[in-house]
Structure 1
Amino acid sequence: MILEALRSEFEQEVSNTRKLLQMVPAKDINFKPSPISWTMGELAQHIATIYYWYAGTLTKKVYDLAADHLERGAPSDIGATIELFEKNVEQARAALQRINEDSLHEEWTMKAGERVVVGPMPRGIVARSFLFNHIYHHRGELIVYLRATGNKVPGLYGPTYEENPARKSG
């Protein structure tokens, strides 16, 4: 039951993430709201990269970031980021199909070499926080970047503020 809910949510939210990434304009790819922030392109690429982590999170007991290498392309190339996203989504989808409900209760750990970064904790909690919620968090940031640069924001859960008919009539 929980796994089926995660799979359904994954599919719905992949569509929302795709819509959002497709709104990133090349002209604003280097925008960043502060000196310590990522550029819009780096943020978009990070969102696409999180989908890559699904396979390691869902299929390995210990996921070592230092031992894994993902070829990402330039963060200033939104086309390459969208291609990365689509490739990673396919791998993530396959990983979600391979697991079973019991595997969500297994202990999972993320390491960077010898350093433990996350865990050990149940894989289901990691999937919800490190994967799903992590993407939602960064999508919210990307929406702020798009609005700050005067770009259109897609409606992810209904009309955006700008598209709301009640706002226009009042």
Structure 2
Amino acid sequence: MTNREFCLDRRQRERKAFVNVLKAVPQGQLAYRPHPRCRTAGELAWLIAAEDAALIPLIQKGSVEWMEVPPPTRVEDIVAEYERNVAAVDQLIARTDDQAWQKKGRFFFGTPTPWEDTIQNFVWGFLHDAIHHRGQLSTYLRPMGSKVPSIYGPSGDDPGR
């Protein structure tokens, strides 16, 4: 199994947990934030969906400029966007050859010097960052009156079967 194939496998294995956490966000709690310096639940959920959207031009063209966009007002729209973006990125990864996987890419995010790395490292880095944000969002769920779904095994609310 190549690195690219392993990455695609890991992304596909994480998908259900992402969808379950996103769907667990209560519709009326998108503005919830545990501290004034924290992102809102809606912003965190949207960030998870938007990260994969940024990977599409990065994989296709080798560069992307990060744009913060306000989140939708409905949880179901965030989930749908996440699912669309993940499917599109996974298709691109599946069609990418290992040489293109190793090409350099550029990620612009409001600084004069872009982040430069291989497409492989960007995709892995974005996956790890999204997992991090999923963990943040999962800590918001109980205070918002929701239940924490199983992620890698049982949670206090979900036996994970």
Give me the whole-angstrom Cα distance separating, in 1, the residues matched to 2:106 and 2:65: 8
Q: In structure 1, what is the equivalent of residue 66 of structure 2?
A: 65
- Aligned pairs, how many? 158
Deviations 1:20-53 (A, max 9, x none): 1111111222110111221111111111111212
Residue 138 (structure 1) aligned with residue 94 (structure 2): no
Aligned Cα root-mean-square deviation (Å): 2.2
Secondary structure of the structure 2 residue equivalent to 1:109: strand
Q: Give yes or no for contact 1:24–1:146 (8 Å, CA) kept in 2.
A: yes
Q: In structure 2, what is the equivalent of residue 39 of structure 1?
A: 40
Q: Following TM superposition, by how much is the alpha carbon of 1:73 offset from its aligned partner in structure 2, in angstroms? A: 7.1
TM-score (norm 2): 0.86
Q: Which amino acid aligns with 1:85?
A: Y
Give me the whole-angstrom Cα distance separating, in 1, the residues matched to 2:103 and 2:20: 33
Q: Following TM superposition, by how much is the alpha carbon of 1:155 offset from its aligned partner in structure 2, in angstroms? A: 0.4
Q: Which amino acid aligns with 2:10?
A: E
Give me the whole-angstrom Cα distance separating, in 2, the residues matched to 1:118 and 1:7: 23
Q: In structure 1, what is the equivalent of residue 122 of structure 2?
A: 126
Q: Give yes or no for contact 1:43–1:138 (8 Å, CA) kept in 2.
A: yes
The one of 85, 88, 103 aligned to 1:88: 85
Deviations 1:45-72 (A, max 9, x none): 1111112122122222222336xxx9x6
Q: Which amino acid aligns with 1:40?
A: A
The one of 153, 158, 167 aligned to 2:153: 158
Q: Following TM superposition, by how much is the alpha carbon of 1:18 offset from its aligned partner in structure 2, in angstroms? A: 0.7
Q: Following TM superposition, by how much is the alpha carbon of 1:135 offset from its aligned partner in structure 2, in angstroms? A: 0.5
Q: In structure 2, what is the equivalent of residue 168 of structure 1?
A: none
Identity, % of aligned positions: 23
Structure 2 residues without counterparts, runs of 5 or longer: none
Residue 27 (structure 1) aligned with residue 28 (structure 2): yes
Give me the whole-angstrom Cα distance separating, in 2, the residues matched to 1:114 and 1:42: 22
Give me the whole-angstrom Cα distance separating, in 1, the residues matched to 2:113 and 2:74: 32
TM-score (norm 1): 0.82
